[in-house]
């Protein structure tokens, strides 16, 4: 199993492209390996023949450097090929399913007629540790290591084949059935009444009926999904998350996007603008562009990154992966858009190279295209921030009321004059059976600002024209998750303010 990255410790084989006996030349893809983040192709470095596959596809995790195949040169005599004996090694390819199948059919699979195995057995060394497969079989069949007697492993180590051989010689074909515990009943009645219940029809189980009749399907997790689950659990358990939200006004940005679409061949998404705006905001607030180093051998430090590399979450059939737009603050929107499309396409085809998704200084996760307005995301350590982007929504408010209220507050706060008294309606005019209110007229009685602030007088509500216009804004909610060990709330707020600045004035992003 090759190491596809410095941090890789194990991987899974998703597909053998070459089959046994097929030849290959440099550059040919031999197999596809599923790492902790992506599926990657393994290419041949020289020509040869795939003589034997030792670990089939989809057989579980395999440790790095564990044998998975035998390669030979063209023209070699493969008739006397010696296959390495991996039965005594924990290659990681054994799965629980294989163990159960072997345990259920010991008489069929036990190598009882193998003279080589029988000749190489010796007295079992009970001091050596047992492998998980051996321990599983012993527990399943309620056996003790001393009962097996003979072992074929190095230095007398018990192997799975030894247990299967013992089961076959003893004609043990099924695990012993588990005795159900006797139910405990309350009350004073005992003796014959209880005995008749036990001897007759079984007592009603306390287990819900759905547990007996309902069917379900266990879906095995891919290696990527397992690693994602492990890292997210570790992040939530060890990283002190804080969340700060900000509403962004998207009107000018959407207008600029439509203008670019109408006047050029550039096709950029809203997410491309957000990536560009976040990159520029990080350039302006470098204290948010950090990674936290919890290495116990050194002092815990927040390392400010020299470059702005944005990791963008992309959904693939195997799970989420975060390809990186490197030096995003130095690239225009068109370049970011083209790179993002290419990276996303390669991610969905499992064609990303390790340096295209490993690293990054800041992450963005966008669920707006799925109709999500607001959410929070989990930080991807050692990064200290991740921006959760919601969808754009329209919010309406009376334009005249908003402007009049702003003007009134500005006038009061400036201290130039006292506030006008709230408008009061004049006496209604009777018209037949209906009462028609007259237009609102303002009172001439002044209201002191101190009274307004003290709650002794109401804040005046400006009168609106009969046909008040509505102001409709396109808003987007973003939520910034921060690692409080590395980024404080003040730095996070500064970043969001700069992000809002670029979104409010998108032409600044084109400079």
Q: Do 494 and 454 touch, CB atoms closer than 8 A?
A: no
> Could you tell me where in the chain the CATH 2.40.50.100 domains are found?
10-72
- Give the Cα separation of 359 and 312 in Å (integer): 12
User: Environment class of residue 425 by beta-carbon count within 10 Å: exposed (0-12), middle (13-18) or buried (19+)?
Assistant: exposed
Query: What pLDDT, on a 0 to 100 scale, did the predictor assign at position 128?
Result: 78
Determine the 3-state secondary structure of 10 from DSSP.
strand
Q: What is the rounded CA–CA span in Å between residue 304 and residue 291?
A: 7
Residue entry with tokens 């975060």: 322
The bridge status of strand 314-316 relative to strand 319-321 is antiparallel
User: What is residue 293's three-state secondary structure?
Assistant: strand
Residue for token pair 């804040």: 459
Q: Is the peptide bond before 382 cis (omega within 30 degrees of 0)?
A: yes
Within the chain, which residues score under 50 in pLDDT? Answer: 88-119, 182, 184-211, 296, 417-444, 466-467
Residue located via tokens 């607030």: 285
Strand (E) or helix (H) holding 355? none
In this predicted structure, what is the pLDDT of residue 200?
43
* SS3 assignment for 106-147: HHHHCCCCCHHHHHCCEECCCCCCCCHHHHHHHHHCCCCHHH
- The yes or no reply on domain 10-72 and CATH 3.40.640.10 is no
| Cα distance between the two ends of the chain | 48
Among the four given CATH numbers 3.40.50.2300, 3.30.390.10, 3.20.20.20, 3.30.559.10, the one describing domain 240-395+473-510: 3.30.559.10
pLDDT at 93: 42
**CA pair distance 294, 237, nearest whole angstrom:** 14
pLDDT at 425: 47
| Distances from the Cα of 479 to the Cα of 64, 335, 359, 461, angstroms | 39, 26, 22, 34
Question: CATH 3.30.559.10 in the chain, residues?
Answer: 240-395+473-510
The position carrying tokens 């200290």 is: 384
Instruction: Determine whether 424 is exposed, middle or buried from the number of CB atoms within 10 Å of its CB (0-12, 13-18, 19+).
Output: exposed
Tokens standing for residue 253 = 């940005």
d(CA 295, CA 339): 33
| pLDDT attached to residue 119 | 42
Return phi, psi of residue 98, to 5°: -65, -40
Helix (H) or strand (E) holding 258: helix 251-263
């Amino acid at each position: 199993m090759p190491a596809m990255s410095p941090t890789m410790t194990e991987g899974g084989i998703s597909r053998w492209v070459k089959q046994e006996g097929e030849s290959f030349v440099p550059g040919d893809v031999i197999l596809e390996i599923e790492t902790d983040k992506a599926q990657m192709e393994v290419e041949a470095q020289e020509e040869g023949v795939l003589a034997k596959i030792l670990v089939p596809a989809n057989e579980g995790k395999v440790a790095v450097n564990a044998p998975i195949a035998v390669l030979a040169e063209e023209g070699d005599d493969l008739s006397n090929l010696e296959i390495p004996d991996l039965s005594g090694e924990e290659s990681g390819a054994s799965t629980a399913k294989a163990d159960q199948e072997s345990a259920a059919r010991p008489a069929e699979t036990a190598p009882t007629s193998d003279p080589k195995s029988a000749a190489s057995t010796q007295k079992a060394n009970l001091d050596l540790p047992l492998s998980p497969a051996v321990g599983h079989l012993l527990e399943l069949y309620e056996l003790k290591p001393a009962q097996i007697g003979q072992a074929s492993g190095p230095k007398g180590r018990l192997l799975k084949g030894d247990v299967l051989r013992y089961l076959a010689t003893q004609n043990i074909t099924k695990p012993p059935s588990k005795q159900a515990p006797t139910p405990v009943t309350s009350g004073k009645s005992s003796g014959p009444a209880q005995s008749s219940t036990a001897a007759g029809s079984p007592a009603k189980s306390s287990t819900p009926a759905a547990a007996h009749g309902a069917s379900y399907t266990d879906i095995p997790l891919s290696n990527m999904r397992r690693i994602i689950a492990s890292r997210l659990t570790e992040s939530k358990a060890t990283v002190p998350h804080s969340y700060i939200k900000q509403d962004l006004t998207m009107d000018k940005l959407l207008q600029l996007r439509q203008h670019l679409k109408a006047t050029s061949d550039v096709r950029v998404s809203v997410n491309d603008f957000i990536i560009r705006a976040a990159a520029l905001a990080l350039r302006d607030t470098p204290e948010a562009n950090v990674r936290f180093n919890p290495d116990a051998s050194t002092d815990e430090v927040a390392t400010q990154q020299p470059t702005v590399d944005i990791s963008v979450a992309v959904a693939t059939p195997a799970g989420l992966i975060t390809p990186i737009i490197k030096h995003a603050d130095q690239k225009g929107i068109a370049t970011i858009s083209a790179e993002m499309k290419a990276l996303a396409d390669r991610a969905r085809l499992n064609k990303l190279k390790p340096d295209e998704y490993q690293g990054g200084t800041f992450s963005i996760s966008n669920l707006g295209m799925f109709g999500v307005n607001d959410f929070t995301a989990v930080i991807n350590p050692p990064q200290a921030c991740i921006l959760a982007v919601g969808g754009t929504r329209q919010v309406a408010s009376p334009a005249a009321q908003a402007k009049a209220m702003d003007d009134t507050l500005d006038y009061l706060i400036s201290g130039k004059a006292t506030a006008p008294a709230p408008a009061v309606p004049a006496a209604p005019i009777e018209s037949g059976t209906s009462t028609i209110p007259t237009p609102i007229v303002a009172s001439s009685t002044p209201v002191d600002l101190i009274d307004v602030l003290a709650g002794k007088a109401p804040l005046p509500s400006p009168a609106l024209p009969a046909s008040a216009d509505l102001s409709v804004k396109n808003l987007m909610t973003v939520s910034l998750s921060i690692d409080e060990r590395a980024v404080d709330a003040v730095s996070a707020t500064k970043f969001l303010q700069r992000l809002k600045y670029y979104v409010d004035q998108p032409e600044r992003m084109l400079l």
